[in-house]
């Protein structure tokens, strides 16, 4: 679906997340490990404010593992605990529960000290931009398919808790936040990774961005995938060469740039160029 985040929608989304925060002990901020900054909500610090928070770098299976390590180290310097996970296969799920437990230990010890014998389960909310994997993570943590994947606008129901073992409970509806729209480069990164629909930005522009990025950061992968001995510096020539090699031709044998753009983005999103990270330190 296409979400149009007008100021009114943003205010509503923020209000909804703020309401949910009242019910929970800890926030799991879900971001895309390939773009851990670009897939963050620009107002997340303000929105979450004083709740304990753990950042989950999802789709780590698709991200460049060295870069992911660098990001985790960077966030640590910002006093943000970050964990690389893969909600689809389930990698990192135990770590999430353990990290939440550790973070909330002081709070629960205080409750115990006050005579509350068996502290209740930790209550958590998953927040993140669309398509970052919130539903997949809820399903994975729940161990069965409770939350439906994909966003269902206009469907509201009472809040429900999903049990994750004995120690954790999740709100069944995640908090949906918006990405940083105003920044053009962020838009291209969101589009390249498939976080926003291809109809939002011009596909050729997105492919130009992606190819320039790959030329700068992953030249060997680009060479290998499209059989270049050297990568053409001129972007039109690069489109032409990829188009000719991969048969992206229109009638009359001229290269069809839309087809090239589609092919390159599909190759990136299906990991034909390997694990890639687009936000770099
Ligand atoms: P939501 O909009 O945040 O709830 O996102 P979804 O849970 O619907 O996931 C969006 C897409 O990302 C789906 O196609 C998922 O299969 C995929 N996805 C979610 N988590 C992962 C992951 O860790 N790795 C990979 N490779 N794909 C994932």
Round to whole Å and give the CA distance between 273 and 266. Answer: 10
105, part of any domain? yes
Domain CATH code at residue 117: 3.40.50.300
Round to whole Å and give the CA distance between 151 and 158. Answer: 17
Considering the domain architecture, whether residues 161 and 212 belong to the same structural domain is answered as no
Q: What distance in angstroms lies between residue 58's CA and the mean position of ligand 1's atoms?
A: 8
CA 103-109-115 angle, 5° bins: 155
2, part of any domain? no
pLDDT of residue 145: 46
pLDDT of residue 40: 95
Considering the domain architecture, whether residues 141 and 55 belong to the same structural domain is answered as yes
pLDDT of residue 3: 55
- Percent of residues, the chain, with pLDDT higher than 70: 92
pLDDT of residue 83: 98
User: Has residue 225 got a pLDDT over 80?
Assistant: yes
Considering the domain architecture, whether residues 21 and 126 belong to the same structural domain is answered as yes
Q: Say if ligand 1 is within 6 A of residue 135 CB.
A: yes
Q: What distance in angstroms lies between residue 219's CA and the mean position of ligand 1's atoms?
A: 28
- Percent of residues, the chain, with pLDDT higher than 90: 71
Q: Calculate the average pLDDT of the chain.
A: 90
Q: Which domain holds residue 89?
A: 7-171
User: Has residue 180 got a pLDDT over 90?
Assistant: no
pLDDT of residue 118: 65
Q: How many domains does the chain have?
A: 2
What is the pLDDT confidence band of residue 104, given thresholds at 50, 70 and 90? very high
Domain CATH code at residue 217: 1.10.1580.10
pLDDT of residue 201: 84
Q: How many residues belong to the chain? A: 281
- Atom of ligand 1 at shortest distance to CA of 60? 23
- Atom of ligand 1 at shortest distance to CA of 86? 23
Q: Say if ligand 1 is within 6 A of residue 32 CB.
A: no
pTM of structure:
0.91
The three-class DSSP label of residue 158 is coil
Summarised one tens digit per residue, pLDDT across range 110-164 is 888 888 776 678 999 999 999 999 999 999 999 864 544 444 455 555 678 999 9
Round to whole Å and give the CA distance between 34 and 50. Answer: 27
Round to whole Å and give the CA distance between 242 and 248. Answer: 8
Round to whole Å and give the CA distance between 213 and 185. Answer: 11
244, part of any domain? yes
Q: Which residue ranges make up the annotated binding site for GTP? A: 58-61, 131-136, 175
The stretch 251-255 carries a mean pLDDT of 92
Q: Say if ligand 1 is within 6 A of residue 95 CB.
A: no
Q: What distance in angstroms lies between residue 107's CA and the mean position of ligand 1's atoms?
A: 32
pLDDT of residue 5: 65
Q: Say if ligand 1 is within 6 A of residue 150 CB.
A: yes
249, part of any domain? yes
Nearest CA to ligand 1 atom 20: 133
Considering the domain architecture, whether residues 166 and 251 belong to the same structural domain is answered as no
The stretch 209-228 carries a mean pLDDT of 97
CA 25-10-172 angle, 5° bins: 40
User: Has residue 90 got a pLDDT over 70?
Assistant: yes
Using the 3D structure, point to which of 128, 153, 171 is the last residue of a domain: 171
Round to whole Å and give the CA distance between 251 and 239. Answer: 17
User: Has residue 22 got a pLDDT over 80?
Assistant: yes
152, part of any domain? yes
Q: What distance in angstroms lies between residue 110's CA and the mean position of ligand 1's atoms?
A: 37
115, part of any domain? yes
């Amino acid at each position: 679906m296409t979400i149009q985040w007008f100021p009114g929608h943003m205010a509503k989304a923020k209000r909804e997340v703020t309401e949910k925060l009242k019910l929970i002990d800890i926030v799991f901020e879900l971001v895309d490990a390939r773009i851990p900054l670009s897939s963050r909500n620009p107002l997340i610090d303000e929105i979450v404010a004083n709740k304990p928070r753990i950042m989950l770098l999802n789709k780590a299976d698709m991200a460049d593992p060295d870069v992911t390590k660098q990001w985790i180290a960077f966030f640590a310097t910002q006093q943000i605990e970050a964990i690389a996970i893969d909600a689809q296969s389930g990698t990192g799920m135990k770590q999430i529960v353990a990290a939440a437990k550790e973070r909330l230990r002081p709070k629960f010890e205080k409750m115990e000290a006050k005579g509350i014998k068996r502290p209740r389960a930790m209550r958590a909310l998953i927040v993140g931009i669309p398509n970052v994997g919130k539903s997949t993570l809820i399903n994975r943590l729940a161990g069965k398919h409770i939350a439906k994947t994909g966003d269902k606008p206009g469907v509201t129901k009472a809040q429900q808790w999903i049990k994750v073992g004995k120690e954790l409970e999740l709100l069944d509806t995640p908090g949906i936040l918006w990405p940083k729209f105003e920044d053009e480069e962020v838009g291209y990164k969101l589009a390249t990774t498939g976080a926003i629909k291809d109809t939002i930005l011009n596909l050729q522009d997105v492919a130009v961005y992606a190819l320039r990025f790959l030329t700068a950061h992953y030249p060997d992968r680009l060479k290998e995938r499209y059989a270049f001995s050297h990568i053409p510096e001129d972007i039109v020539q690069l489109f032409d060469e990829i188009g000719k090699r991969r048969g992206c031709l229109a009638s009359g044998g001229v290269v069809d740039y839309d087809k090239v753009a589609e092919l390159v983005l599909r190759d990136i999103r299906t990991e034909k160029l390997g694990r890639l990270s687009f936000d770099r330190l």
